[in-house]
Chains A and B, each alone.
Chain A
Amino acid sequence: MTGTDSPPCIDLKDIWTTYEGAAYPVIKGVSLRIAAGEFVVVGGPNGAGKTTLLEAICGLLPLVKGSITVCGREIPKEKIGILCDVGYVIQNFDFHPFTPYTVLDVVRMGRYGRIGWFSRESQEDLDAAMEALRLLRIDHLRDELIGTLSGGQQQKALIAHNLAKKPSVLLLDEPFSNLDVMTRDEVSSLLCDICESGVPVVMVSHAFDSLPRRDIRVVVMQKGKLVLNTTSQAGDVADIIRSAPVAG
């Protein structure tokens, strides 16, 4: 499946975004359509705007120009609705060893936005959290404090936090950065399954050795601009990113 033969789940039209207080735009005129079930890898040098692109898709950043539609909802009008629907695994986290939350607490939090202000968690919410823990194979760690886990286990807990949401779109920022080779393959296979179920996966990564063996859309960012948008196989991603044209 490609981005052109089905309606887009994510539709970016000439978007310009910036961080609050920044003097210049960080994303400059990016247009991108991502369809259901696509696996997208966003590459490019440090500071190219990859993380900013993911945050813009979530509606976390002010939109200076252009339009963003996610699953038929438009940012910023329906930002909260989009955030409830989008899973976003953040890049930087550093939990203190005595952070007073267990792994299960953290995974359950993924559903809190969906539950709403005055409602309590239902059995369905708890089941979704448990299922996410099982998918990541960390159900045995459910009662451990999040800060006592290794970086890789914390990373898995954060992925589970987002999977518990049952997201319609999954965004991941360097999901392999703390994972060992075996776990990378496990997570990669899980992401592949998620894609097969129709959920588009958009991943910022510099680790290309564990990408799933399937069609991958490669998007390359440079200096806030999209310089390459093509489809490839896992083994070619690194070379494609290296040979991407340089932004003016």
Chain B
Amino acid sequence: MLEFIIQNNVMCHAVEAMLFASIGCAILSVLITQMNISSIGFTMSHAAFAGGAAGVFFGFPMLLSAVVTSLATALVMGPLSYRTRMHTDTTLGVLFGTMMALAIFFIALMQSEGRGFDAASLLYGNVISLYREEIYALVVIACSIILLIVIFGKEISAITFHRKMAEISGIRVAPVYYLFLFLIAVNVAFCLPIVGGLLLYVWLVTPAAIVYQFCPTIRQMFLAAPAVAGCISIFGAVAGIVWSLPVGPLTAVLFSLVFVLAVAISPKRKVCRQIY
């Protein structure tokens, strides 16, 4: 898709993968942070991780098993976080621990069988491992997320503002909420091979955390988050390939550095010291 700009095939592949993965994740990150469901985000990313690890171990397609596990977790998580009488964080903590344990269990088994390469790519991702069809799938997912945000913009903004007030306004909260969980599940599963199970969570939270420092309204956040995440991801992919550094971890560190910088210069931290 971007061959007309980037002549180097490997570089082009890496930039495309990182760019389209980051767009979908960044938009979802705005929803995740504004709905205060970061714990749901990390549980789902680790569910995809566990599913991917199990899939690779048993010889199933990794993507398919990651999608299935992530979706299954979303189905369990929805009722858990929406209806449980127990504190959401507690139930998600249990779920997250279970998923992480499963992922580590299968990775340890693979390592003991001498399949270290499979295990490492699951942990840290491999930006040039994707087939062209998988990059097209990322484009489709990113476009679908944008389309849904545009179509259901008013419902989503009301739900992210206050779930109970949205329900009182007559908005059907549950279908939008489950659609949102479904989008996270699919997006997380497709991004897993690029950035790896351990780092995926950075893409699902940090873009929104960065732009939150500068954007007063949610509309601005929806526009700025993919732009910022796209720039950081492209820079990470290019720098990683040029200097032979692991692209996923490098980009994750870049996200964190930009976040620290954003917090340092954020207008939201300004304190009025003048007495009029």
CB distance from A130 to the nearest CB of B (A): 17
Known A20-B83, A112-B155; contact A99-B161, beta-carbon cutoff 8 A: yes
Residues on the A chain within 8 Å of B212, using CB = 98, 100
Across the two chains, which residue of chain B brings its CB closest to A145? B216
Say which one of B58-66, B169-177, B247-255 lies at the interface with A: B169-177
Query: Which residues on the B side are within 8 Å of A86 (C-beta)?
Result: 168
A90–B167 Cα distance when bound, in Å, is 12
Q: List 15 A-B contacts (CB under 8 A).
A: A80-B172, A84-B170, A86-B168, A88-B168, A100-B212, A100-B218, A101-B161, A101-B218, A105-B157, A109-B166, A113-B169, A117-B155, A121-B154, A158-B165, A161-B165
Query: CB of B115 within 8 A of chain A?
Result: no
Q: Are A100 and B166 in contact (CB under 8 A)?
A: no
Tell me if A58 is interfacial: C-beta within 8 Å of chain B: yes
- Known contacts being A83-B169, A88-B168, is A100 close to B221, with CB within 8 Å? yes
B151 at the interface (CB under 8 A from A): yes
B158: interface (CB < 8 Å): yes
**Distance of A100 Cα from B220 Cα, bound (Å):** 9
Residues of B within 8 A of A112 (CB): 154-155, 158, 166, 169-171
A246 at the interface (CB under 8 A from B): no
Q: How large is the interface on B (under 10, 10 to 19, 20 to 34, 35 or more residues)?
A: 20 to 34
**How distant is B83 from chain A, measured CB to nearest CB, in Å?**
6
From residue B151, how far is it (CB to closest CB) to chain A in Å?
A: 7
Nearest CB of A to B219, in Å: 8
From B215, which residue of chain A is reached at the shortest CB distance? A100
Q: Is the CB of B85 closer than 8 A to any CB of chain A?
A: yes
From residue A204, how far is it (CB to closest CB) to chain B in Å? 15
Describe B's contact surface by its main secondary structure: helix
The answer to whether B8 has its CB under 8 Å from any CB of chain A is no
Query: Which residue among A20, A21, A60, A117 has the maximum number of chain B CB atoms within 10 Å of its CB?
Result: A117
Within the complex, the shortest CB–CB distance from B206 to chain A, in Å, comes to 17
Could you tell me the distance between the alpha carbons of A98 and B266 in the complex, rounded to whole angstroms? 12
Does B243 interact with chain A (Cβ within 8 Å)? Answer: no
B85-A21 in contact (CB<8A): yes
Interface residue? B152 (CB, 8 A): yes
Contact in complex: A109, B157 (CB < 8 Å): yes
Which residues of the partner chain B approach A84 to less than 8 Å between Cβ atoms?
169-170
Query: Cβ of A81: which chain B residues have Cβ within 8 Å of it?
Result: 170
A contact residues, total (Cβ < 8 Å): 33
B132 interface residue (CB < 8 Å to A): no
Q: Does A165 contact B (CB under 8 A)?
A: yes
- Known interface pairs A90-B164, A106-B161; A100-B172 also in contact (CB < 8 Å): no
Instruction: Please tell me if A93 contacts chain B, counting CB pairs below 8 Å.
Output: yes
Add 18 more A-B contacts to A105-B157, A117-B155 (CB < 8 A).
Answer: A81-B170, A83-B168, A83-B170, A100-B34, A100-B215, A100-B218, A100-B220, A101-B157, A112-B154, A112-B158, A112-B166, A112-B169, A112-B170, A114-B170, A117-B152, A118-B151, A145-B216, A158-B165
Q: What 0/1 readout, one digit per residue, does chain B (173-208) give for beta carbons within 8 Å of chain A?
A: 000000000000000000000000000000000000
The CA of A109 and the CA of B165, in the complex, are separated in Å by: 9
Q: Report the nearest A residue to B176, measured CB to CB.
A: A117
Q: How far is the CB of B237 from chain A (nearest CB, A)?
A: 30
Closest-CB distance, B64 to chain A (whole angstroms)? 31
**A207, CB-defined interface residue at 8 Å:** no
- CB neighbours of B164 from chain A (8 A): 60, 90
A83:B167 contact, CB within 8 angstroms: yes
Q: Are B161 and A109 in contact (CB under 8 A)?
A: yes
B217–A105 touching, CB < 8 Å: yes
Assess whether A110 is interfacial by the CB under 8 Å rule. yes
* Contact of A115 with B by CB under 8 A: yes
Chain B residues, Cβ within 8 Å of A99: 161
